[in-house]
Amino acid sequence: MTVSSRYILLAEDNPADVLLVREALEDRAVNCEIQVLADGERVVQFIQQIDADSSLPCPQLVLLDLNLPKRNGEEILKSLRASERCGQTPVVILTSSESPRDEANATRYAALHYFRKPASLNQFMQLGDVVNEIIGRAQTIVSRP
């Protein structure tokens, strides 16, 4: 696996949503590579691989669809928060769910933002603003003396 040291992990199984996320990040000039994994099992394995190999960097941010095949978002969040190396990685939940339970679980596992996938392209582009704010905040914390 070759991954840039500055990348966002996008856990999303819908190719149209992957395209929209890429477009939103490009539109807002988010300067990161995107690593896409389309099923929950692969995401959990990816996290475990990072924990096992200290040369692999953690993502700057995880964009997580709650409804993935093989493992759901709650299982992925549990795995991520249990990770020795990536447990503090910021997470933005991407979902079309309007379930209060899903939002409560996202909060319980320390997701920074709960982004409902909107119907309009303009609203979807706002995801780029959310990502820029989170990455900018993380870089400010890292760069402090």
Helix ranges (H only) for the chain are 15-27, 40-52, 73-82, 100-108, 121-143
pLDDT of residue 122: 83
Q: What is the pLDDT of residue 105?
A: 61
Q: Is the pLDDT of residue 106 over 50?
A: yes
- The CA dihedral of 53, 2, 131, 140, to the nearest 10 degrees, is 60
Apex 75 CA angle, 12 and 16, nearest 5: 10
pLDDT of 142: 41
Mean pLDDT (the chain) is: 83
Phi, psi of 102 (to 5 degrees): -65, -45
Q: Which of 36, 102, 112 is nearest to 75 (CA)?
A: 102
- Amino acid identity of residue 46, one-letter, is F
All domains of the chain in start order, with CATH: 7-139 (3.40.50.2300)
What are the tens digits of pLDDT across the range 25-54? 998 888 889 999 999 999 999 999 999 999
Query: What is this structure's pTM?
Result: 0.83
Residue found under tokens 């993502």? 59
State the sign of the Cα–Cα–Cα–Cα dihedral 109, 86, 14, 123.
Answer: positive
User: What's the pLDDT score for residue 145?
Assistant: 42
